[in-house]
Amino acid sequence: MIEFTLRDRDGGHSFVHWTGLFDPANAPKYQPIWQGLTNSLILAVVTIAIVLLLLAPTMILVTLRFPRLSRPLEFIALLPISIPAIVLVVGLAPVYLVIGRTFGTGIWSLAFAYGITVLPYAYRAIQASIDATDVRTLAEAARSLGASWSDVLFRVLAPNLRAGLLAASLISVAVVLGEYTIASLLARQNLQTALVVVGKQDAYVAVVFSLLALAFAFALLLVIGRASTPTARKARS
């Protein structure tokens, strides 16, 4: 892919396609990509909010108060990984008709579908931190000292689960930036659908942005690996 982006029209190799990204004359041609990237970043932020404000507190609540529900919760959380994206869209299409009438058809509404898509990965990342931390003892100690449940969640448990929460957030970003099928079938524009549109006009530029997206995803994986190392050491100890 790198060699492909270095080919020029004369049969040689140069950085003309890379330097063209900064040419103001090409701005109209690249506008769909920048719009798609902006939309994907918005979706990533909303998806992370769903993971951190809905999934993580639910998992902590089940661990502390309803341990018998841990297996059903795990089954529900891992179920989306077995459902193809195109099948998921067929089921979500009627739901999005209602969402469109109620909340509008803004790009942010696609985060509801992405929240389901990232559920298995985020669940595993957070659950690994919960298993490596004695959350029940920490919660009981904090409550015995007069801490409210909000203090227990945000000031006691969240710092101890930060590795899992960070990993879940970064995985969510990587999944959102690489998702194409759901956005395409639901007629929404994100980074991947924009790359397809621009690729029909200039294949070189589409590959350049694809390489940048891959490099960004690889960097996220490195950060996830570094973040999960303390959790793994704590689990072994």
CATH code for position 38: 1.10.3720.10
Tell me which DSSP letter residue 13 carries.
B
Residues 152, 185: Cα–Cα separation, whole Å: 42
Residues 117, 176: Cα–Cα separation, whole Å: 9
**pLDDT of 86-98, one tens digit each?**
888 888 888 888 8
C-alpha neighbours within 13 Å on the C-beta side of residue 145: 10
Mean of pLDDT values over 197-226: 78
Residue with tokens 């902590």: 60
Q: Is residue 67 part of a domain?
A: yes
Residue with tokens 């990237």: 37
pTM of the model: 0.81
Mean of pLDDT values over 32-60: 92
Residue-wise DSSP of 8-36 = -TTSSB-SHHHHGGG-GGGHHHHHHHHHH
Nearest one of 171, 199, 196 to 181, comparing CA atoms: 196
Q: Is residue 21 part of a domain?
A: no
Q: Is residue 125 part of a domain?
A: yes
Q: Is residue 87 part of a domain?
A: yes
Question: Taking a C-beta distance cutoff of 8 angstroms, is the pair 113, 92 a contact?
Answer: yes
Written as one letter, the residue type at 3 is E
Nearest one of 122, 116, 161 to 138, comparing CA atoms: 161
Residue with tokens 């960070």: 166
**pLDDT of 126-136, one tens digit each?**
999 999 989 99
Q: What is the model's pLDDT at position 197?
A: 86
Residues 49, 218: Cα–Cα separation, whole Å: 22
Q: Is residue 13 part of a domain?
A: no
Average pLDDT over the chain, rounded to an integer? 84
Q: Residue 229's beta-bridge partner residues?
A: none
CA angle, 103 then 106 then 112, to 5°: 70
Which domain does 213 fall in, by range? 30-236
Q: Is 134 helix (H, G, I), strand (E, B) or coil?
A: coil
Q: Is residue 20 part of a domain?
A: no
Q: Is residue 212 part of a domain?
A: yes
Q: Is 104 helix (H, G, I), strand (E, B) or coil?
A: coil
Q: What is the model's pLDDT at position 22?
A: 72
Residues 31, 34: Cα–Cα separation, whole Å: 5
Task: Please state the domain count of the chain.
Answer: 1
Question: Which residue intervals of 79-189 are DSSP H helices?
Answer: 85-103, 111-117, 119-132, 135-144, 149-151, 158-160, 162-178, 181-185
Per-residue pLDDT band at 228 (split at 50, 70, 90): low
Q: Is residue 174 part of a domain?
A: yes
